[in-house]
Structure 1
Amino acid sequence: MMNTICTCKKLKNWPVVILCLVFILFADMAKAQKATWIWYPGDYEVWLSNKMQNRRTERGAFFPPFWKLDSHYALIDFHKDFVLANPEKVDLTVEGQYNVKLDGKALSGYPKAINIPAGKHRLSLKVYNQGSVPAIYVKGAHLASDTSWLVTYEDKEWIDASGKTSDVSATQYVPAGAWNFDSADKTPSTFRLPTEEHRPEKTERKEHSILVDFGKETFGYAKLNGLKGKGNVKLCYGESKEEALATATCELLDSIHIDRPQKADLTMEGSRAFRYINVLFDDNVNADDISMLYEYSPVEQRGSFHCSDQEINKIWDISAYTLHLNTREFFIDGIKRDRWVWSGDAYQSYLMNYYLYFDLPTVTRTLYALRGKDPVTSHINTIMDYTFYWFMGIYDYYQYTGDKSFIKQMYPRMQSLMSYCLSRRDKDGLMEGLPGDWVFIDWADKLSKQGEVSFEQLLLCRSLETMALCANIMQDKPGSARYNQLSTGLRSKIFTYYWNNQKHALVHSRINGKQTNNVTRYANMFSIFFNYFTEAQKQEVKKYVLLNDKVQKITTPYMRFYELEALCAMGEQSYVLKEMKDYWGGMLNLGATTFWEEYDPNKSGAAHYAMYGRQFGKSLCHAWGASPIYLLGKYYLGVKPTAPAYKQYMIEPKLGGLQWMEGSVPTPKGDIKVYCSAKQIKVSGDTGIGTLLFTSSTMPVCKEGAIKTKGKNTYELSITKGTKYTVDYSAL
């Protein structure tokens, strides 16, 4: 290649040089790529989420989601412009009916392979599929389907009476979507999570029943081994033993009729959440034993945490297992119920994921699925605050990953969703629940949702900041200016309308233009880690709200997540450590093997399992219960990005009463590792430029780098990629 260019230079034939460079550019683009199945971005995610969320049942009855379900586009046009240096055969595999065009000329039939001559070409496929997502897999020596292909759901070209195709088209093409279907026979429509067989730890057999205990909360398909006879079989599933034995009120059950003269194994069609299964047989039916096919998402656990406190270690381990069970095709709320994709639950899972897996496809799939399609007719999951969490999820995704390509795919959908939100503001420019809006906030007794709730304004403000950030990425200067103006104006209104000097806090709401007297924790704690308060206001709120038992307490792990984050952001790691041991440790003391949807230490016995007016309505494995993963990674190990994708990052370890701790935090390019005791800190990073910030009562020493003094016993050390640093110091 270089010889050709050099020869052209010697001949001083610059036009030929330019042609050579153009040819090399196109030839380089046509180098062999890894082929993968592709589709219209977001369509597979919408289709798969519909399929997954409609698996929910309660006592054998179908239980679909509460909100509007969108569908995939049934007809998609795919194309790719390319240059081949040599002729090649290209194999085509398609999900749906399709036609093929090469350089605008239609090929007859449904070709499985085509021969393409050398040169510059455009290959186009138009695919129709109503039942599943139109998708293609193209594989040649150099040409392959990938996200560089362009797709559209609406080909706006037209043909006049003479047969001439329009010269100008309003068609909008976008880069194709993909996941990990990297072989022709690995079709997207047949995707299923993997399974492996597990045996119970204990079995109690009676004349007409078998009760099995798998030792911990789990998820999968019950399997009856050596099943024989004619009659009915009932399987009662339980997250607790009490639930499995309560045949009339257990949340999940399967009822089947069999007629099997010979012994055979039978696996249930539906996946279920359980620790216990109580299998009841008619007189003439029995089975040898019960096992299960454990279903899981094959995500890689990259993050870790270990410390001097064994209870905290167990809390971290159980949190990791809880999140793993709720990490499926998407991040779901709970494995027993609802098994749906709720935006507020998913938002917390994204954050925990960044400190445990750093699995980005599950994040983007979930964001696509939640957003759905235009036109927007309601809030996400019908919940106002859940719409704002969706925007915030994109804000955080960019900070942790730096992925601009995803932002570019999502920006039009962000614009239309934000337009919907802004259209529903009242005369004061604030969000107030309108008919059809669910203002959720939290499960809490007597929590008012009336009027203009301060918490909702706060989330909208952060969402507008997200829009401004993404507008800058898109080089949308008018959009950036507008969203910045809106967020700045709303932030000013929040403090004008809601801050109360006498209460030293933001009040909960305004009704008819007047502040209510109620102070709750929600808007106040979010304002701390959003960094909306002045330092003086933070101290006031910490004293008069967060550490004030007279302010209504939070009993869900969902909002404990944010309450403890706010306290950590204020340097209260010692207090938070005690709270974690009390709250999550309290569940462990009751025998929890995963963390719950809600925990009230004032309850006792079977009352812990009740919720929503049902004896066993509470989920004992809920994603939002796994928040210690995030808190321990971000605020104890102290690792967080300060520039997108960890190009710059901070390490600010806080022992918070621990004698020592160690762990790793995953990033897009390797891990950041931290060890900290009262006398020594060890850190290393595989990416970016880090800053270690810490306090010491004596002058610290580090052989690998120069420590800077910041004043007030605070010190700083720059961390470069690939170097291991050891700091000897004396913790304050």
Structure 2
Amino acid sequence: MDSRSWSAKWIWGGEEESPRNEWRCFRKTFELPEEKTLGAAWLHIAADSRYVLYVNGEQVGRGPVRSWREEQFYDSYEVRHLLHAGQRNVIAVHVLHFGVTNFYYILGRGGLLAELECEVTSGDATAAELKPLRVGSDDTWTTSRLQAQNPVSPRMSCQQGFADLYDARLWDERWITAGYREDGPGSTWEPAKVIGPPGIEPWKRLAPRDIPFLTEEKIYPSRIVSLRRVQAPAWSAVLDLRAAMMPDSIHHANPVSFVGYLAGELVLSEAGNVTFGFPAGRRTDNMWVDGRLCADWTGDLPERYCTLELAAGAHFVLIDVTSWDHGGAFHLAAHAEVPLEWRTPGGNGMQPAGAPPLVLIGPFDTTVHIDHQDPKPFRMDHPVYLKAAGAANMTELQEQLGSWVHPIPQALYSEEDVFGASVWTVEAEPHSIPSQLERAIMPTPEPAVLPLFGHGAGDCEIVIDVGRETSGFIGFEVEAEAGTVVDVYGLEYMRDDYRQHTYGLDNTIRYVCRQGRQRYLSPVRRGFRYMVLTVRKASTPVKLHEVYVNQSTYPVTNAGAFQCSDPLLNEIWNISRHTTRLCMEDTFVDCPSYEQVFWVGDSRNEALVNYYVFGSLDIVKRCLNLVPGSKDMSPLYIDQVPSGWSSVIPNWTFFWSIACLEYVEHTNDTDFAAKIWPEVRYTLEHYLQKLNADGLLDMRGWNLLDWAPIDQPNEGIVTHQNLMLVHALNKAAELARIAGGDDQDIERLLRAGRELAATINAHLWEEGKQAYLDCIHADGRRSDIFSMQTQVLAYLTGVACGDRRETIGSYLLSPPAAFVQIGSPFMSFFYYEALVDAGRYEQMLNDIRFNYGQMVRYDATTCWEMYPNFSENRANPDQLTRSHCHAWSAAPGYFLGQGILGVKRANPGWTRVLIEPQPCDLAWARGSVPLPQGGRIDVSWSVDGDMMNVRVAAPSSVEVEVRIPAGMREQVTLAVNG
């Protein structure tokens, strides 16, 4: 909770409280008299939704951290070194307001709160008098919408905010400096409007930032991959159908469905072939041109294209856009060798001149869904919906459908479609890469000159390899004629001629150049490895002085280390570490590209990896504390926070409760245990209310564990989450004990765990198969699917006991071919836990080598989200995984240190450590594990015949015990470090 006293007020500008995708600038100039000397100077700042802060032209920082709307975090910066006594000073803030709810932001309203707090000394040095000086946000600050930014840019994805559309001709980049004049010709600057003091809605509480600031380090690319002359389709557009069909959907991030059409008139000046394209996938198979249904679709899904021979004149196009829609952008394109244009409908409530040339019809049915997969079918029997498909032209459509025809709001439509133009290249001619082009990736005084193919001949596209996956802010410096367009599109994976396009993620920038030399640094975070940079509309050669990424992650050091005699395992450990780092922002996030979302269940495994490779604690504690903030959305806690999607994955809540105990055991932070225990008890009590008459967890939810095709319906009794509930109950009892909880509460949890385990064994074991079945469906049907996922959890949670445990243990070593196999590295984490529990380290190493070796083989620098084992995991044979950087997959970063190097915590807080090496087939290993109290454990071991040499260095405050494998002789050296 905030303890400081604010004089600043929340401020905003413009006419809308919560404008969609608005970049707004704020300035405050002030004088510091010459005769006064500054002491400490702190600038405190919060914004809705994100900000970039400058003082006297220097970037200070970015923020704030994600938070629940009611408790807004603020940042504090020491800025004394940036202030100038006796001169005019300026605080400048660039605020990015989303104006829509997503997976890491809940809609509030546009706002900025900022206050500079200085100590000013006067008098002589021996009797200095301290006087406070405050410069707080109020109506003396000025504001303007950042005119260069076009707010109609597309949503990047349902999880995130918006892509960049930036016209540098429309803005003076000197606005962040003290010498900038706000009163020039055509000025858009105005006094800021005061919203109210701290504590006003929607930001009821303020809290100081609870983790360190993120890094921002400049990374240059490693190589130019390719050079091509390309041509984009003649016309393309991108629109937000979700918001157009269901305007209220901006207030939540739940999936929706709607029934309706998109329509327009395409005009050809002469006859020719026209190809209609959906570069990011169709909504349905139904598209009509002049009443004729398009049938001959080409292209690999999700891209689809249809070519028709059309006469000169107007052609009526009707597209069925009936869809299940979670958010993001809808892309549509058309190309012909003859001139084409869309005619804007007019009159009778249709679009005015200059408005988007397409109209919406419907919606005829709308539904908001909560679950990930809701079985509710579309209602497509509305008589007007059925009638619309028979319309022959726009006039007839308007006459017959009347009020069902709506204009598309201008804010939801754009013909600046970088993604569509990058994915659908109607011409692509490769060229050899001239040596001078390599200068584009080097910080040299001499720029690279991009080839110019001539007016109308096509655009220049280069693909730049950053060298490895990265997460941060793309920047470049170019010299060009005014109006030249620079498009940037981030990819994660390429191989030979294959590009894995980021379907569902508009990972793009469009920058329109002003005259001369200029720089641009996008304020939007992106994850990628490859940059597709395309120069369009160039009248003279473009000079590219540099292109780079300001990589931004949670500040960590490489305190953890691992090396061994197997180079493949070393590389696997390295990519696990890099993956974890890129997925550490202001919380753990699932991936830096597609989502950037704090998924609650993922973070349990990510925390364990982090303990071994980085040792960071604040980020773990922050993640654990954020979860109960969702109790107003669901007492079961939602699976990604803070978020507007009211989705519940029961296992994710169970993993969170287990992670709370693991954090306490790792740190011995009993105060945290006492604080978090009531929140754990609260949600588990509500889960126990979901037990059916037989005593099994039987509920509707997103009952997920793995992406593989296991039987995990969203309704019914799912075995794996019953097993995890047992585990969560037992772990919660231990957390309660540490927290000083009531003995009756502890016994209640333990008893509930015992009873549920017995019920699982009574109802969910299939004697004939000698295995636990995956589920019992809501209609009572027993699943005929058996999976390794379910058996692994039965073993790991201890529910399988006696002969059943022995049987399941044999499956860990030789998975039955008829069982569904593990489909993601996330599930492998639990498999490896079970193997470690069984003492089968050789099996774990072999699995790591095989599955993670696949990644290394394909030049992975980070761990994949999925294994390419099932058709469910990929859209085509070349797609190896969806996300190529996913920290739920970084298991080797933990198990190679904990299992093979053998460094294990022996008591809460790591004051006692067990070193238990497992050489398997390795000749040697060495590494380090960071300690929560500071310092580290350094271990090295080698094997020579039956002799194991072990050296351990640890702080003097840590008690060390070494155990070597049975049958081996030992030579142990203990040393003190730090």
Q: Normalization by structure 2: what TM-score?
A: 0.52
Partner of 2:595 in structure 1? 338
Structure 2: runs of 5 or more not aligned:
1-41, 47-63, 74-97, 112-128, 139-196, 228-449, 453-459, 640-647
Structure 1 position 571 matched with structure 2 position 839 = yes
Structure 1 Cα separation of the partners of residues 130 and 772 of structure 2 = 67
Name the SS for the 1:306 alignment partner.
strand
Structure 2 Cα separation of the partners of residues 439 and 94 of structure 1 = 52
Please report how far the alpha carbon of residue 479 of structure 1 lies from its aligned counterpart in structure 2 after TM superposition: 2.0
Name the SS for the 2:835 alignment partner.
helix
Please report how far the alpha carbon of residue 497 of structure 1 lies from its aligned counterpart in structure 2 after TM superposition: 2.7
CA contact (8 A) 1:569 1:635 kept: no
Structure 1 position 693 matched with structure 2 position 940 = no
CA contact (8 A) 2:937 2:953 kept: yes
Please report how far the alpha carbon of residue 355 of structure 1 lies from its aligned counterpart in structure 2 after TM superposition: 0.9
CA contact (8 A) 1:95 1:134 kept: no
Equivalent in 939, 952, 955 of residue 683 of structure 1: 952
CA contact (8 A) 1:333 1:340 kept: yes
Partner of 1:24 in structure 2? none
Partner of 1:652 in structure 2? 916
CA contact (8 A) 2:582 2:592 kept: yes
Equivalent in 563, 567, 574 of residue 310 of structure 1: 567
| Residues 531 and 392 of structure 1, relative CA distance in 2, 3 Å threshold | same
Equivalent in 474, 477, 481 of residue 222 of structure 1: 474
Partner of 2:686 in structure 1? 420
CA contact (8 A) 1:315 1:628 kept: yes
Name the SS for the 1:464 alignment partner.
helix
Name the SS for the 2:476 alignment partner.
strand
Partner of 2:67 in structure 1? 46
CA contact (8 A) 2:950 2:970 kept: no
Partner of 1:477 in structure 2? 743
Please report how far the alpha carbon of residue 314 of structure 1 lies from its aligned counterpart in structure 2 after TM superposition: 0.8
| Residues 198 and 660 of structure 1, relative CA distance in 2, 3 Å threshold | same
Please report how far the alpha carbon of residue 639 of structure 1 lies from its aligned counterpart in structure 2 after TM superposition: 2.2
CA contact (8 A) 1:236 1:244 kept: no
Equivalent in 801, 815, 827 of residue 548 of structure 1: 815
More helix by share: 1
Equivalent in 583, 604, 608 of residue 851 of structure 2: 583
Please report how far the alpha carbon of residue 248 of structure 1 lies from its aligned counterpart in structure 2 after TM superposition: 9.5
Letter paired with 1:380: I
1:429-451 deviation per Cα after TM superposition (whole angstroms, max 9, x unaligned): 321232xx111111012534253
Structure 1 position 440 matched with structure 2 position 704 = yes
Structure 2 Cα separation of the partners of residues 553 and 668 of structure 1 = 36
Letter paired with 2:590: D
1:664-695 deviation per Cα after TM superposition (whole angstroms, max 9, x unaligned): 22222332232222221222433443432223
Structure 1 Cα separation of the partners of residues 513 and 868 of structure 2 = 47
CA contact (8 A) 2:726 2:753 kept: yes
More strand by share: 2
Structure 2 Cα separation of the partners of residues 627 and 68 of structure 1 = 29
CA contact (8 A) 1:663 1:674 kept: yes
Partner of 2:535 in structure 1? 281
Please report how far the alpha carbon of residue 370 of structure 1 lies from its aligned counterpart in structure 2 after TM superposition: 2.9
Partner of 1:195 in structure 2? 216
1:584-639 deviation per Cα after TM superposition (whole angstroms, max 9, x unaligned): 11111111111111122689xxx99748x997981011112211011111211222
Equivalent in 901, 904, 910 of residue 637 of structure 1: 901
Partner of 1:662 in structure 2? 926
CA contact (8 A) 2:605 2:891 kept: yes
Structure 1 Cα separation of the partners of residues 543 and 203 of structure 2 = 38
Name the SS for the 1:663 alignment partner.
strand
Structure 1 position 232 matched with structure 2 position 253 = no
Please report how far the alpha carbon of residue 528 of structure 1 lies from its aligned counterpart in structure 2 after TM superposition: 3.2
CA contact (8 A) 2:723 2:799 kept: no
Name the SS for the 1:375 alignment partner.
coil
Letter paired with 1:411: W
CA contact (8 A) 1:199 1:291 kept: yes
Name the SS for the 2:67 alignment partner.
helix
Partner of 2:629 in structure 1? 372
CA contact (8 A) 1:212 1:290 kept: no
Name the SS for the 1:278 alignment partner.
strand
1:688-708 deviation per Cα after TM superposition (whole angstroms, max 9, x unaligned): 43432223436646587xxxx
CA contact (8 A) 1:333 1:345 kept: yes
Partner of 2:720 in structure 1? 455
Structure 1 position 179 matched with structure 2 position 213 = no
Name the SS for the 1:300 alignment partner.
coil
Structure 2 Cα separation of the partners of residues 251 and 677 of structure 1 = 47
| Residues 571 and 360 of structure 1, relative CA distance in 2, 3 Å threshold | same
1:59-92 deviation per Cα after TM superposition (whole angstroms, max 9, x unaligned): xx999546995989x9xxxxxxxxxxxxx99979
Partner of 2:864 in structure 1? 596
Give the RMSD, CA atoms, in angstroms. Answer: 3.9
Partner of 2:166 in structure 1? none
| Residues 430 and 409 of structure 1, relative CA distance in 2, 3 Å threshold | same
Structure 1 position 267 matched with structure 2 position 521 = yes
| Residues 521 and 698 of structure 1, relative CA distance in 2, 3 Å threshold | closer
CA contact (8 A) 2:796 2:834 kept: yes
1:503-560 deviation per Cα after TM superposition (whole angstroms, max 9, x unaligned): 3433323457786453322232234344444465443112245512422111211112
Partner of 2:795 in structure 1? 528
CA contact (8 A) 1:223 1:291 kept: yes
Structure 1 Cα separation of the partners of residues 137 and 906 of structure 2 = 45
Please report how far the alpha carbon of residue 262 of structure 1 lies from its aligned counterpart in structure 2 after TM superposition: 2.0
1:683-722 map, 5 Å: 683-686=952-955, 687-697=957-967, 700=970, 722=976
1:257-309 deviation per Cα after TM superposition (whole angstroms, max 9, x unaligned): 52411211111221211111112222237341422222222112221111011
CA contact (8 A) 2:211 2:619 kept: no
Partner of 1:163 in structure 2? none
Letter paired with 2:474: A
CA contact (8 A) 1:555 1:599 kept: yes
| Residues 487 and 446 of structure 1, relative CA distance in 2, 3 Å threshold | closer
CA contact (8 A) 1:663 1:675 kept: yes
Greater CA deviation, 400-409 or 413-422? 413-422
Structure 2 Cα separation of the partners of residues 455 and 91 of structure 1 = 60
CA contact (8 A) 1:249 1:616 kept: no
Structure 1 Cα separation of the partners of residues 595 and 205 of structure 2 = 29
Letter paired with 2:604: Y
Structure 1 Cα separation of the partners of residues 897 and 511 of structure 2 = 50
Please report how far the alpha carbon of residue 463 of structure 1 lies from its aligned counterpart in structure 2 after TM superposition: 1.7
Name the SS for the 2:473 alignment partner.
strand
| Residues 528 and 513 of structure 1, relative CA distance in 2, 3 Å threshold | same
Structure 2 Cα separation of the partners of residues 360 and 386 of structure 1 = 20
Partner of 1:505 in structure 2? 771
Structure 1: runs of 5 or more not aligned:
1-34, 53-60, 75-87, 98-125, 137-176, 182-191, 705-720, 725-732
Letter paired with 2:826: Y
Letter paired with 1:390: W
Q: Normalization by structure 1: what TM-score?
A: 0.69
Partner of 1:19 in structure 2? none
Partner of 2:199 in structure 1? 128
Structure 1 Cα separation of the partners of residues 652 and 920 of structure 2 = 32
Name the SS for the 1:441 alignment partner.
coil
Name the SS for the 2:514 alignment partner.
strand
Partner of 1:495 in structure 2? 761
Name the SS for the 2:529 alignment partner.
strand
| Residues 446 and 405 of structure 1, relative CA distance in 2, 3 Å threshold | closer
CA contact (8 A) 2:70 2:202 kept: no
Partner of 1:320 in structure 2? 577
| Residues 636 and 365 of structure 1, relative CA distance in 2, 3 Å threshold | same
Structure 1 Cα separation of the partners of residues 769 and 558 of structure 2 = 45
Letter paired with 1:575: Q
CA contact (8 A) 1:376 1:417 kept: no
| Residues 616 and 648 of structure 1, relative CA distance in 2, 3 Å threshold | closer
